[in-house]
Chain A
């Protein structure tokens, strides 16, 4: 999970170009898109069982370790 080298980005550009994960989108809440979205594409299922440890990325593991290390520092 090595971080690829990126060109230097100024501070201003950061906030201008970065899409935060909390920038929710305002949209009409209805269920119509439920029907529309299901087309002919093969359906995927959510198969990440809580009992399985293999999550889709190692971020969780890293974060957990980090939290634990922070806790130990305190």
Chain B
């Protein structure tokens, strides 16, 4: 709605004073239907309507009426008609076509085009019967929609406009509004007020309304519109009643209407209907009535929710009602005074009760306003005196008991006024219609309520002089807009001391408090601030209206002329109150860039916490719009708090409207804070666009400009509390919408603009030449978040070093162009560097920064010095690296200052932090990948005698020797200093990096890409200047790579490249990321840490056994203890009664009889004893079990599963390296289930988090934790560029076993011929088993019986379990083995030898998965076995004999069958120990 209004306003032709006032409303054309919807009616249409009813167009004979140019150009006649009008301030007239807006009852704006108006005119001109009978005239809305208006509606309109009665429409029982069913049947209601407006439009005489016996039906309601644009229904009757209460002559009417059952309904600003009981109205009347201060019981008992301090000279809190009271022109001053007195007596406000019984406290101000409504004549009179100040900008406020403001717009008041205005209004003949809301019906039957405001507008278009008073009255009444409404409708109270302080700050005299000041404050907060000075004779009430002072409005009409603020505008303002209030929320930006809206209320609280002096808040949202009603002339504003009538009237006028001597600009909101005496201290006479319109006829142009400038001035020292980059805190560019929008800066130069054009280099000022001179005014050392530089955010693509300079630095061009300072510049020298000629150093730059608006709390000495160091170093380095292009051009004062400002902006205003700062402050992990630059190298403490003192520049500098030493000492544990260009951090290198340092592969200026680093000595957020010597960055070589010379410093926004597997250093720490292909995955193993410190690794099968055994032992111990406990429990010596019963029962021959004869109490005691005994027993048992298990070493098993994975590094196909891929064996401790199941052999993975543990020449051992290591499989497309790494598993036949390299793993499936006994050897349990796959026999090759057997040695750590490693029962089964390791062949017996390690596994043939590579081999072995019965029997016999002998030898530590283990490997075949020879050798 506000937009529509603004739009409509935009199309207004500028007029002078009253003309603008009246026509503004008219041309706005916003008619409001009974339901509040807006209907746009062109002025022309209204004019035609007026013509229809016999009026003549006022040709501006009145001095106050200056006709404006009619924008419609379609109708020649009309055009000619309007050409007579002149535009008083020519050149500014808007020629836009505008669609006058009518407003429907629901608030919807309806545009009516000219044709519709013409039709209406035609309809009205013709005989009603003729028109209605033949066809329905078609109206067109502005949007082109056709609206059929029924004949009856037209009749109504005609009747209304002509003062005629429509007999057949009258007395429609129960109808609120006249309703006709013509057209398509939809009812259209038009509020009485609207009709009245229309009537006013067409009536020759002012508000001469036809004979009406009564104001309407009991439940007839008038649509008022609130400031937020919502319709407020106030029944005419209620208003009448109120009026009757106040006016004796109306009492009879009230009495007649009292029979109605409906309660008058008022609507709050939020659109909520509020029914007001008659008693409440009576209370109101009582309050307002002359000489009658009696109040009803309700009023007496109810408590005013709003503190009411009206007359108190030192009033701290001024409610809006009070302010309203001040601003409201009270027609009967005595009444107002009495009311005030009345309220002052007990500090309470009368409570009104709604129709639903809810109590509503109405503030005094509201009542006073009501009284103003009810006394139209006086209002008119007042208005004449008030000279139309403030018109149209304020909306009267009703305040409920809970402090909620109820806005009543001018329209509402108008309606009220019309209702109560005169007898004519009372007599208006709507009884016949049965409704005070004239209802029109469209052709489609839709009801259209035309609000009174719309009619009023229409009336205003055609208004005669008689209307002028009323219009003015309306303006005056409407000159309030929710002063209490903050963005959340809260009341803001400002103490008088605060205001005084503010006034003092502003340099105002005691009696002249800058209205602008308060305007800004209140404007910002969307509140009304009322201040009472200590001097009761100089009370100053300041009211601001958020709507008027809305930044939006101002942004749209920056050069608003006060005379332009006509009724239409105020209408619009009132409607935009809500939205405006929302706009007053202030946005903060957190350091992380998140925006946060702070309500004005919260801000106000914050301000109160900070003290009253902080009241001055940046009014950046609404500069120039803070409408405050401070007095323009203090003498006039002087008022005795309890003055007489004249005083009150005068004071009210003076205080509330402030510009009593500018009658023609009475509607100007701007005037209020353009008080000539009131100029802000920090006014900046910079107005981007001078006002193009004069204030009024009474003001000359220069004055107008001057005032307009003040109008745009900020008030007081403004604190920009936002840190948005686009915020212009210079308090000058406030014309635009004050909303802080990122990137919304009006950027003349969107990025780094030439410095010379941005600011005057402070160094050029003489003031700056002398160090130590305070050149920073105190006012500028403020916490303002001032944007110092226009560089950021960068909005244009720029060139990096390589693009800009064309390539990497080339020192061979280093010429004499480069000064020695530049040539030798390093970070340490940079800190002390001073520009020649000006001797400008870090201190001077700090002053420059402060001069530019930086905050001293942010741009501290340490801060400036730190950044100065890095900036100077960088600029000097650029000059040194590109001497031919940059020598003498980069390291300049301007550049350094600009860089400092840029950094200040980013840190302070944008909250951005560099990588090191984030790390130090705990907001970023040091393990993230970042590029840092070596800025210094300290001596290595462990190698003081060698060549690690690389940074000779530092050590050789005479002046800095001591500092270098101290720095060296300070960083004894640190090796280098790293910087991100903004801050620095010491770093400690691992031993491998130290080696590189020694090799001078680490040097100052080298950029490092660091990944996976950690902080040492960091316990919490720490400032950058507290870091040296305390916090270090521990870097290791596996996460430290040499970066390119032009890599951007700071955190990397992309994932880092994986370190090639071959580049992993064993002692290089954690590998952030690498690529590896899995070649083998071994079975999950279980490592148990034994209580004695040893550890046992078991296969899953063995772990199951071990676990089973453990449980068996535990259960046995538990059972034993339980048994013992059972025996011990008999000897209980409990003396309690339950125990006695228990013992008695135990020893009784027939306990059942004893139990039967026991008393209930005894039974209870007995049962409780049993329960207690049970618990005690359980506790004892569990304790004993615990102890016993501990003794037995079975208290708790410490078992950790782990998974071993053999991997191989991936090598690019195009790699020139001929070296073989590096292999690794990764042990994943506590592997996740995902890892157990998803890791696949042959798949390449990106692995993060591996830690190398050991390294041998062939294989790299790494560790990983299941939870901390991620295995991300690479897509097949990603692996195409890598060399193949995977050899799939296959079953080895003994026939080809010779091809298997020694010590390599192999898989085989075969028939187990024999399982040997276990024996102990070297603290290991060992066992031999023999198998064959028959491949030798199947092949039919010669020497079938040679190399046909495979002896597998199985070993395991000795445990206390007796079970064999390999079950004898497996003999004769076909089994698939995996991951056996080939050992040296027993050449003597021609037996292949292999070893089963912890990673080996076997699977029975029937359990081998179908897809397994062993499946076919196992099947082949089974087939061979099935047809080789004889041969197998021979084997059995042989091994049986061996077994008998082996038993004997095994007891002596010799291996069965003569196999012995001498130092584990190699196995030797000792023939001498055997009495039995293999049959194939015999």
Contact = CB atoms under 8 A, between A and B. Distances in A.
B1050 A45 contact: no
The winner among A33, A37, A47, A64 for most chain B CB atoms within 10 A is A47
B1289 interface: no
A46 to B, nearest CB: 4
Contact of A70 (B754, B794, B823, B1058): B823
Interface stretch (B626-634, B804-812, B1114-1122): B804-812
B1058 A22 contact: no
A15 B1416 CA distance: 74
A28 B642 CA distance: 63
B914 A24 contact: yes
A63 B1001 CA distance: 11
Contact of B806 (A3, A21, A74): A3
Interface in B1200-1217: 1210, 1212, 1215
A8 B910 CA distance: 34
Nearest to B808: A59
B89 interface: no
A27 B893 CA distance: 31
Given A12-B754, A14-B886, A70-B824, A22 B809 contact: no
B1057 A45 contact: yes
Contacts of A6: 805-806, 885
Contacts of A55: 1042
Given A42-B1281, A44-B1057, A71-B953, A22 B1049 contact: yes
B1246 interface: yes
A3 B912 contact: no
Given A18-B798, A22-B982, A60-B1006, A33 B1055 contact: yes
B870 interface: yes
A21 B1046 contact: yes
B755 interface: yes
Interface string B1278-1310: 101100000000000000000000000000000
Interface in A22-61: 22-27, 29, 33-35, 37-50, 55-60
Interface residues of A, number: 56
B1275 interface: yes
Nearest to A47: B1060
Contacts of B1280: 42
Interface string B811-832: 1111000000001100000000
A20 B807 contact: no
A22 to B, nearest CB: 3
Contacts of B1237: none
B980 A49 contact: no
A67 B956 CA distance: 13
Interface residues of B, number: 97
Contacts of A59: 808-809, 1045
B1044 A63 contact: no
B1271 to A, nearest CB: 13
Interface in B1139-1174: none
Given A37-B1055, A57-B1044, A21 B801 contact: yes
A43 B1060 CA distance: 11
Contact of A50 (B915, B956, B992): B992
Contacts of A17: 752, 798-799, 804
B1050 A42 contact: no
A59 B805 CA distance: 14
A47 B1214 CA distance: 13
Nearest to A40: B1277
Interface string B1038-1049: 000110111111
Given A3-B884, A16-B752, A67-B953, A50 B1037 contact: yes
A46 B892 contact: no
Contacts of B1215: 47
Contacts of B957: 74
A57 B504 CA distance: 66
Contacts of B924: 29
B806 A4 contact: yes
Contacts of B751: 16
B1274 A43 contact: yes
A66 B1275 CA distance: 45
Specify the main secondary structure of chain A where it touches its partner.
loop
B1062 A49 contact: yes
B661 to A, nearest CB: 53
B800 A74 contact: no
B597 interface: no
A62 B810 contact: yes
B261 to A, nearest CB: 64
A2 to B, nearest CB: 7
A25 B885 CA distance: 27
B753 to A, nearest CB: 7
Contacts of A16: 749, 751-754, 798
A26 B912 contact: yes
B981 A34 contact: no
Contacts of A19: 794, 798-801, 804
B809 A62 contact: yes
B1278 A45 contact: no
Given A11-B889, A74-B953, A22 B981 contact: yes
Nearest to A25: B1053
A22 B1050 contact: yes
B1004 interface: yes
Contact of B1050 (A25, A38, A56): A25
Interface string B1063-1093: 1010000000011000000000000000000
Given A24-B980, A43-B1075, A48 B1041 contact: yes
A21 B1041 contact: no
Given A21-B981, A62-B809, A74-B952, A46 B870 contact: no
A60 B912 contact: no
A50 B813 contact: no
Given A21-B1048, A29-B924, A38 B1272 contact: yes
Contacts of B1281: 42-43
Contacts of B928: 29
B1210 A67 contact: no
A50 B1455 CA distance: 52
B805 A64 contact: no
A67 B935 CA distance: 13
B1046 to A, nearest CB: 6
A15 B1054 contact: no
A1 B1063 CA distance: 29
Contacts of A47: 1060, 1062-1063, 1215
A48 B1040 CA distance: 10
A42 B1280 CA distance: 7
Contacts of B313: none
B1449 interface: no
B996 interface: yes
29 contacts: A1-B807, A3-B805, A6-B885, A9-B885, A11-B889, A11-B890, A14-B886, A15-B755, A16-B751, A16-B798, A19-B794, A19-B800, A19-B801, A20-B874, A22-B1049, A22-B1050, A35-B1272, A38-B1272, A39-B1275, A43-B1075, A43-B1274, A47-B1062, A47-B1215, A48-B1042, A50-B1065, A56-B1042, A62-B809, A74-B953, A74-B957
Given A33-B1054, A43-B1058, 4 more contacts: A17-B798, A19-B798, A58-B808, A67-B1005
Interface of B: 593, 749, 751-756, 794, 798-801, 804-814, 823-824, 870, 874, 882, 884-886, 889-890, 892, 895, 898, 906, 910, 912, 914-915, 918, 924-925, 928, 952-953, 956-957, 980-982, 992-993, 996, 1000-1001, 1003-1006, 1037, 1041-1042, 1044-1051, 1053-1060, 1062-1063, 1065, 1074-1075, 1210, 1212, 1215, 1246, 1272, 1274-1275, 1277-1278, 1280-1281
Interface of A: 1-4, 6, 9, 11-12, 14-27, 29, 33-35, 37-50, 55-60, 62-67, 70-71, 73-74
Chain A to chain B: the 6 pairs with minimum beta-carbon distance, closest first: A22-B981, A24-B1050, A16-B752, A12-B754, A19-B798, A71-B952
